[in-house]
Structure 1
Amino acid sequence: MQKSEDVTFGGSGLDRAGELRGNIPELARAMQAPGTRAVALWRGKPLVAGDAELCLARLPLAHPAFADAARPPILLGREEGNAVFAHDISGWDPDGQDLSKLGAFVDDSEQAHPAMPGGHRFAELRRIMTRLGARDAELAATAKAIHGWHATHGFCAKCGAASEMHQAGWQRICPACGAHHFPRTDPVVIMLVTHGNRALLGRSPGWPEGMYSCLAGFVDSGESIEAAVRRETLEEAGITVGPVRYLASQPWPFPSSLMIGCHAVALDDTIRLDPNELEDALWVTREAVAEAFAGRARHFLPARKGAIAHFLLRNWLADRLD
Structure 2
Amino acid sequence: MSAFDAFPLGQPAFVSSVLDRAAHLRGNDEKLFALEQSPSSRAYVVYRDSLLVKREGEGVRALLTIDEALKCGANPGTIFLGLRDGAAVFGMGIAQAAAEKLIGREDFSVNELRGMAMQGAVPPDQLSAIAMAKSMVNWHQRHGYCANCGTRSAMKEGGWKRDCPSCKAEHFPRTDPVVIMLVASGDRCLLGRQKQFPPGMYSCLAGFVEAAETIEDAVRREIFEESGIRCTDVQYYMTQPWPYPSSLMIGCSARALNEDVVVDRVELEDARWFDRDEARLMLTRKHPDGLAGPHPFAIAHHLLGRWVHGNDRSGA
TM-score, normalisation: structure 2: 0.88
Moved more, 133-142 or 62-71: 62-71
Give 1:121's aligned residue.
Answer: 109
Give 1:309's aligned residue.
Answer: 300
Moved more, 15-24 or 59-68: 59-68
User: 1:204 and 1:215, CA in 2 relative to 1: closer, same or farther beyond 3 A?
Assistant: same
Q: Distance in 2 between matches of 1:213 and 1:199?
A: 10
| Secondary structure of 1:189 counterpart | strand
> Contact 1:56–1:136 (CA<8 Å) still a contact in 2?
no
Deviations 1:104-153 (Å, cap 9, x if unpaired)?
xxxxxxx6574xxx554322111121413232111111111111111111
Q: Distance in 2 between matches of 1:59 and 1:250?
A: 25
Aligned pairs (5 A) from 1:100-179: 112=103, 114=105, 119-130=107-118, 131=120, 132-179=122-169
Aligned pairs (5 A) from 1:1-322: 6-49=11-54, 54=59, 56-63=61-68, 65-66=70-71, 68-70=73-75, 72-93=77-98, 112=103, 114=105, 119-130=107-118, 131=120, 132-297=122-287, 298-321=289-312
Give 1:107's aligned residue.
Answer: none
Q: Distance in 1 between matches of 2:295 and 2:212?
A: 31
| Secondary structure of 1:213 counterpart | coil
Deviations 1:44-88 (Å, cap 9, x if unpaired)?
312335689856422222336456334601111111101001111
How much identity, in percent, do the aligned residues show?
42
Q: Distance in 2 between matches of 1:64 and 1:18?
A: 23
> Contact 1:75–1:168 (CA<8 Å) still a contact in 2?
yes
> Contact 1:185–1:257 (CA<8 Å) still a contact in 2?
yes
Provide the alpha-carbon RMSD of the alignment.
2.3
User: 1:178 and 1:56, CA in 2 relative to 1: closer, same or farther beyond 3 A?
Assistant: farther
Moved more, 264-273 or 66-75: 66-75
| Secondary structure of 2:192 counterpart | strand
Deviations 1:210-250 (Å, cap 9, x if unpaired)?
22110000001111111100011011111001100100100
User: 1:291 and 1:303, CA in 2 relative to 1: closer, same or farther beyond 3 A?
Assistant: same
Deviations 1:8-60 (Å, cap 9, x if unpaired)?
11132421111111111221222222211112222331233568985642222
Deviations 1:240-265 (Å, cap 9, x if unpaired)?
01100100100000111100000111
| Secondary structure of 2:127 counterpart | helix
Moved more, 244-253 or 149-158: 149-158
Q: One-letter code of the match for 2:261?
A: I
> Gapped runs of 5+ residues in structure 2?
1-7
| Secondary structure of 1:127 counterpart | helix
Q: Distance in 2 between matches of 1:51 and 1:66?
A: 17
TM-score, normalisation: structure 1: 0.86
Aligned residue pair count: 303
